[in-house]
Chains A and B, each alone.
Chain A
Amino acid sequence: MNTGDPTGGIQVLSDRSDQVWTKGSGKAFVCDKKSAAGSVTQRACAFCGSRVVLYPIADALHIVHGPIGCAVYNWDIRGALSSGPQLHRNSFSTDLAEKEVVFGGEKKLKASLIELIDYYKPKAAFVYSTCIVGVIGDDVEAICKVVTKETGIDVIPVDSPGFKGTKRSGYQAACEAAYRLVGTGSTENLGKYTINLMGEFNIAGEAWMIRRYFEQIGIEVVATITGDGRVDDLRRCHGAKLNLVQCSGSMTHLAKLLKDEHGIPMQRVSFFGFEDTARAIYAAAEFFGDPEIMRKAQELVRSEIAKFAPQIRDYKKKLKGKKAALYVGGAFKAFSLVLALRALGMKTVLAGTQTGSAEDYEQLKEICDEGTVIVDDSNPLELAKFVIEKDVDLFIGGVKERPVAYKLGVAFCDHNHERKIPLAGFEGMLSFAEEVAASVLSPVWKFVPRREALAVAAFEEARKGEGK
């Protein structure tokens, strides 16, 4: 059916019309609410949220208590690297069968934990509750206590049944679980200038790059939470003087606990793009107020930007004027991406996130241009609608957004946790530019139907002009 409207007249569901906003429209905007049933949200569930946050702690055992699906769909799908243990890359599950659903899964959980701990010798264990466990009422906390006593390692329940709120509630459950380790280790031998890097997941080794920047200017990183995470680092992370929170959606709760209980201030930062990376480094340097650190920071930023700026300039020449759409997990990242795209000469015409907070969106709205569409908790139909209407050249998102872009003949850049290319920091900005250019400038787009249609329209327009 060709209606002449390539979106087929897709309408935003009335249940969520206040979650779609256009800059300059003056309309109200709502976020942070649960997904409308049947909306085909791109979000997962509370379980997913908790699992995403904690699993990069590489020397802990992570076991999913429930039937198999929940565990199997996230077996080693993410790009968080470890500099040592690889235990987190396994998928352990109690794989509950009907019998256990009826009679309870406590016995199986206990046996599983004892055997796995004995075999893999982890430093701690996390037990993730799934929907089923939330319903059948296994006393996970009690089992964890017993196993802690029997094995001598901390076995920590993560209260994350899928139905329990949104993905954000899962983040909160993860922070609560991680916090149980905080304060249990010695903070002796920690230097004067110390920070924790929070909400950094070490995708493709990004935490290592960022850690190097700080070490270079004389700041010690106590813990990277949770990418390349270690149980012992969590135990003593309360000894740091400052928390830099990158993925604010996932880590704000833990940072708040550290602030309230241990008096450690937090700052939201981002390491995507030159501007934000520099700003983050300066923020830390300023915090410690040591002119020597500030001098080193300035030197680092200057030399790093000098190293990569010429190549970025070349890409900018080629990408100037292209239009981008982005749909990512958290809004703070979206904010950085708008700036990074601007640095490449590109304009963001659609920006959205799965789990942004009101505060995040305020900032996002501010930096976007007039006419930019902002969406919260969107779905494939809406994303397709705006991709077509705004005639975008590039989509930035994750695996679930990729086919929406590709089907419509739009370039794509993967910017979620499954990617295997580091995009953070100064050198990350270069890989970002490379990846964007590799897709946007590919010759394949001239074959896609959308381009043909645009060419025909342009031809018709030109012919009409001649006729006058």
Chain B
Amino acid sequence: MISGMEHKNPDLFTVSGVRVQGAPPEAATRNACKLCSPLGAAMVFNGIRGCLPFLHGSQGCATYIRRYMISHFREPVDIASSSFTEDDAIFGGARNFENGVENVIAQYSPECVGVATTCLSETIGENMIGMIKDFQKNHADKGPPLIHVSTPAYTGTHSDGYYAAIREVVAAFAEPCKERDVTRVNILPAMMSCEDLRHLRELCTIYGLEATVLPDYSTRLEGSSWGEYNRIPPGGTSIDEIKSMGDAAATIEFGHLVANRIDSAGMLLEKRSGSRRHALGWPIGIKLSDQLFTSLAIVSGKRMPESIAFDRGRVVDAYVDAHKYVSGKKAVVYGEPDLVIGLASFLSEIGIRPVVCATGSKGKGWKDLIASEIEGGMEDVLALSGADHAKIAEAAREVKPDLLLGSSKGYPLARELNVPLVRIGFPIHDRFGGQRQLSVGYRGTLALFDRLVNAVMESKQEDSKTGYSYL
């Protein structure tokens, strides 16, 4: 046994147990800080009522994604595949596609099938739209509707797959405005927790608005115990609801990256139906949450209800009570781009410097997006895009952070540096309740703030020789 090595980050040692030396490798990705785009699409399809995700390609993709989602949500996640063989890779998978969808219909009786491509089917140039048309023609248009999204994993990440799927769903079903309903609002969330989705809906209700949340996997990926087997778990946004999204007074679309896109789902709804888009950041922290509540006030025509004003007051009160424990601390933040931007904004308003803001996505203007949300300049902030966990670790070793914020994938680094990891985002597979974590709005900010402050205090307590019980 090489002494002590087993406690260290595996990316840091040669096979003989010597610390690595020299210029770090650049060509390969080492411990990716991203997932593939079909996973994002599968998340969205899990948020549509009665929808079964179907990946056109090798079956490993579906199985891997299922496994990954199950370990986070701890719920059944069924994803079908056309199970390509060598012949299909050469001659095309049309027959497998047709047979596969037939089998899915026979087994699951889905209300719709969400078809996403994979690297393989994209590369061999499968004509998905043609295949879907053929399928519908061969089945006399009697089968459930098929939604198609193109998700080759060699372009973009799970985050891109997620937004692309929402866009395709809206493009496929949303109809032009029939009758404007001022009590309705569309919510297009980022890849948030089930609790976040529930909270966003609840907030709309408080403002007297009925929300169509797309996707809404909050029930399907965090449900109750079953007495009988649900082939497709209950919950999700129905196709009928999606059809009438154009009637809503407005659409609130989350995410800085989406905000900059002219072809986002929200933009599409605005163009098609005149339902006005409010492009907002991931609402974490007071500043970004304020923007959400402002939008809700504009859409509903109501001033901020007292209960929410109280919630805001409680956040401010908590910030004040605990500020000394976090003020001046340094954090490393990583994960989905929109989440990282939201967290950077939140951290800078509580006096923590987000000294490394990293994402595995590649995107132009990453540094500017971060800069737009944090106070005090970017001199000491490293904005990394297209980063992997090995690169994040290298940066972290330099800056010696006091804590990390991100998915479970930061654990080896947290262990190496002996600093707390505040788990947020996806995946959280080494703790329970990732899907139940609330992090958006004032109440979510408060919950996240408590988690963060307590993580810092716990580590202070653990490291103390005396073991104070009264900090």
**Contact residues of A with B, CB < 8 Å?**
2, 5-8, 10-11, 13, 15, 34-48, 58-59, 63, 66-77, 83-87, 89-98, 100-101, 108, 111-112, 115-116, 118-123, 130-132, 134-136, 161-165, 379-381, 384-385, 388, 399-400, 402-404, 406-409, 447-450, 452-453
Contact = CB atoms under 8 A, between A and B. Distances in A.
B28 A135 contact: no
A66 B119 contact: yes
A10 B229 contact: yes
Interface of A is mostly: loop
A67 B119 contact: yes
Given A45-B63, A163-B120, A89 B28 contact: no
A408 B226 contact: yes
A94 B97 contact: no
Contacts of A75: 31-32, 409
B2 A84 contact: yes
Contacts of B54: 38
A83 B59 contact: no
B39 A69 contact: yes
B357 to A, nearest CB: 21
Contacts of B154: 67, 96-98, 100-101, 132
Contacts of B20: 119-120
Interface in B382-431: 390, 409, 412
B76 A380 contact: yes
B57 interface: yes
Interface of B: 1-2, 5-6, 8, 10-11, 13-18, 20, 22, 24-32, 34-36, 38-39, 54, 57-68, 70-71, 74-86, 88-89, 96-97, 99-104, 106-108, 118-120, 123-124, 152-155, 157, 223, 225-231, 390, 409, 412
Pick the 7 closest A-B CB pairs, nearest first.
Answer: A45-B60, A69-B36, A449-B227, A38-B100, A37-B100, A38-B103, A162-B58
A380 B78 contact: yes
B276 to A, nearest CB: 35
17 contacts: A38-B102, A44-B63, A48-B64, A68-B29, A69-B35, A73-B68, A90-B30, A92-B30, A130-B119, A131-B84, A131-B89, A131-B119, A163-B88, A163-B120, A399-B70, A406-B74, A408-B229
Given A40-B78, A41-B59, A135 B104 contact: no
Contacts of B78: 40, 380-381
Nearest to B228: A6
A2 B228 contact: yes
Contacts of B120: 131-132, 135, 162-163
B93 to A, nearest CB: 8
A37 B32 contact: no
B63 to A, nearest CB: 4
A132 B31 CA distance: 20
For A37, A39, A74, A379, the residue with the greatest tally of chain B CB atoms inside 10 Å of its CB is: A37
A13 B27 contact: no
Contacts of B11: 90
Contacts of A66: 119
B237 to A, nearest CB: 20
For B16, B59, B223, the residue with the greatest tally of chain A CB atoms inside 10 Å of its CB is: B59
